[in-house]
Structure 1
Amino acid sequence: METEERFEDGMLDVGAGHSIYWRSQGNPRAPAIVILHGGPGGAMNPQWADLLDAQQWRIVLFDQRGCGKSTPFGELRNNGLEDLVGDIEALREHLGIEQWAVFGGSWGTTLALAYAAAHPSRCRGFLLRGVYLARSEDTNWFLWDVRRVYPDVHATFLDAIEKAAGQRPSSARAVLDFSGEPLSRFDATSTVLARAWRDYESTLSRVNHEGQGQESEERTEDESSRAAIAMALLERHFMADELPPPALLPAVPRFAHLPCHIVHGRFDMVCPVDQAKALADAWPRANLSIVDAAGHWTFDPGVASALREAAKRLRADMGSAQAVA
């Protein structure tokens, strides 16, 4: 007999002037899984929940500080990795969940690993897509070294920074240094640069670029600009001021007894697949699925299919400790 799905949402005051928007859906009697979105600044995408069987999971999503429906929008103060880890734990307590699985993509994998290191006893297992270990070399690849594969796209990105800042970057560090002030203005210049940043990342994310430029969800022009500003502003903030975080790979033994399923596109130009391989090598219970002819995009058909299968395997790994009606 199927259990009727339940939907709840709300705002949670997490302190220091920040409140995060959350939503819960699926089977309230099933094991919980929290979805950690990418970016930073990407905001939740409810379509991620469609990759999971709503009868088998209680699905929790939230917008991280400074983006989506969380407030204040674009706030960089009191917005670091430790703050976000604390928000995940505060949300777990608020919802009365004893333990949950963690589903993260891209920056969400960084956050998932940091949360697991801090609160291993609250985790039941992991589903990770597009692993980003947030080491200096990983950030440098995205901002600079990828020009060896996408020289034209990278040049267009630098053009946008030069137009906004009056200086052309000559290194990954300069990309961050020159883009900070223009992005922080929240004016027309910010919007143009943020859209260029968003388009750069979007192009690198996909192997097949047909239909690119269309919004995945129906958005007004203002909503699209707001989303781009949050993504660029917060990514730049974390890359410039917060990263690299404490080394994530050495922390794996704290939670290596838990099951983990990793899905990664072989031609991921945002987060090259060697990061996923390094994580799997450090994690005895990790299963790595490399999807050929796929990139970083969650909804690449191959990646989405692999995530659905990985979610089923994770649910089986976790067993039936919590009954599902």
Structure 2
Amino acid sequence: MDTHDDFRDGMLDVGAGHSIYWRSQGNPDAPAIVVLHGGPGGAMNLQWADFLDARQWHIVFFDQRGCGRSTPFGELRNNGLADLVGDIEKLRERLGIERWAVFGGSWGTTLALAYGAAHPSRCLGFLLRGVYLARSEDTDWFLWDVRRVYPDVHNTFLDAIERAAGRRPSNADELLDMTAAPLARFDAASTALARAWRDYEATLSRVSHDAPGPETEARSEEESSRAAIAMALLERHYMADELPPPPLLACVERFARLPCHIVHGRFDMVCPADQAKALADAWPRAELQIVDAAGHWTFDPHIAAALGPAAQRLRAGIGDAAG
């Protein structure tokens, strides 16, 4: 369903030198749903709106601090989990929305849970894809332990780090330490490392690599490099300097009365499915769908096929709550 034509957008000054770009579309009289992109640093993807019925939802996107069209680009200062939670609340107030549902994927699930814990009275329910609980073991898996399944891909990633940093990391902590300075230089070597980081994550995200998907739309070389830098720079920053947040599973009780629909690929190599299972076990109203033959990628055909119906069930469950 096309939800892309009629929209409002703007920049919101959220303080400390940051402004975030936002966009809203769909039915302004319907319940609202805020879309939290992954990364950190991934920026909004408007094709996520295709999982939502534009007649039934008021859909709100925004680019998180430091990425997409938000400014300043790549800024790490005043860029932490509490800052992003505060930005969501400022955006809700700016748009005059009383309560809204939350749709997050990957890092966006982390942010969704943190927002729910801080502002449960402002939430209607949750739609989560590819749960990332941001525990140390979850980050270690992505950066290091996944080599047990993808030894070749991990080795290629380490090659890129060695070229950029002059040394080869021997664990996840060293990987984060060694990539800090190269990624922050914003030069050719920084771009090469950022592209290697992006390619590493993209490879782990998919079960099948045969067909390009919606998020591989044509970009200029500059746009592609900019997106890779934002992703790598902000992911490293959050993994090294901003995580772990307060244990997210311990916060579920604050919003456990609300409905939640979780879609997670069984063969997710970025965020293994035990994270989704742990969240569902802690959340009485959570409905978990583990999708066979699917990975982490939002637009995996099997994940995409599950997200639309999950969104419909969430919409039916919240009824006609005021947007």
Q: In the alignment, is the contact (CA less than 8 A) between 2:294 and 2:300 conserved in 1?
A: yes
1:263 aligns with 2:263: yes
Q: In the alignment, is the contact (CA less than 8 A) between 2:25 and 2:60 conserved in 1?
A: yes
What is the distance in 1 between the residues matched to 2:8 and 2:214? Answer: 29
2:232 is paired with a residue whose SS is helix
Q: TM-score, normalised by structure 2?
A: 0.97
Q: 1:240 and 1:20, CA in 2 relative to 1: closer, same or farther beyond 3 A?
A: same
Q: In the alignment, is the contact (CA less than 8 A) between 2:205 and 2:268 conserved in 1?
A: yes
What is the distance in 2 between the residues matched to 1:162 and 1:229? Answer: 18
What is the distance in 1 between the residues matched to 2:277 and 2:249? Answer: 11
What is the distance in 2 between the residues matched to 1:138 and 1:205? Answer: 15
Q: State the Cα deviation string for residues 163-205 of structure 1 (Å, max 9, x = none).
A: 0000000000011000000000000000000000000000000
Cα shift at 1:6: 4.0
What is the distance in 2 between the residues matched to 1:92 and 1:215? Answer: 27
In structure 1, list runs of 5 or more residues that go unmatched: none
Aligned position for 2:313: 313
- Runs of 4+ that moved beyond 3 A: 211-215
Cα shift at 1:320: 2.2
Aligned position for 1:138: 138
Q: Which amino acid aligns with 1:29?
A: D
Aligned position for 2:12: 12
1:295 is paired with a residue whose SS is coil
Q: 1:212 and 1:190, CA in 2 relative to 1: closer, same or farther beyond 3 A?
A: farther
Aligned position for 2:64: 64
1:182 is paired with a residue whose SS is helix
1:291 aligns with 2:291: yes
1:35 is paired with a residue whose SS is strand
1:110 is paired with a residue whose SS is helix
Aligned position for 2:168: 168
Q: Which amino acid aligns with 2:53?
A: D
In structure 2, list runs of 5 or more residues that go unmatched: none
Q: State the Cα deviation string for residues 124-181 of structure 1 (Å, max 9, x = none).
A: 0000000000000000000000000000000000000000000000000011000000
Aligned position for 2:242: 242
What is the distance in 2 between the residues matched to 1:257 and 1:284? Answer: 8
Cα shift at 1:213: 9.6
Q: Which amino acid aligns with 2:296?
A: H
Q: 1:312 and 1:213, CA in 2 relative to 1: closer, same or farther beyond 3 A?
A: closer
Q: State the Cα deviation string for residues 15-36 of structure 1 (Å, max 9, x = none).
A: 0000000000000100000000
Aligned position for 1:28: 28
- Please give the residue correspondences for 1:68-217 in structure 2 after superposition, counting only pairs within 5 Å: 68-211=68-211, 216-217=216-217
Cα shift at 1:284: 0.2
What is the distance in 2 between the residues matched to 1:133 and 1:313? Answer: 24
State the percentage of identical aligned residues. 81
Q: TM-score, normalised by structure 1?
A: 0.97
What is the distance in 2 between the residues matched to 1:288 and 1:207? Answer: 20
Q: Which amino acid aligns with 1:296?
A: H
Q: 1:63 and 1:219, CA in 2 relative to 1: closer, same or farther beyond 3 A?
A: same
What is the distance in 1 between the residues matched to 2:290 and 2:222? Answer: 37
Q: Which amino acid aligns with 1:187?
A: D
Aligned position for 2:41: 41
Q: In the alignment, is the contact (CA less than 8 A) between 1:38 and 1:105 conserved in 2?
A: yes
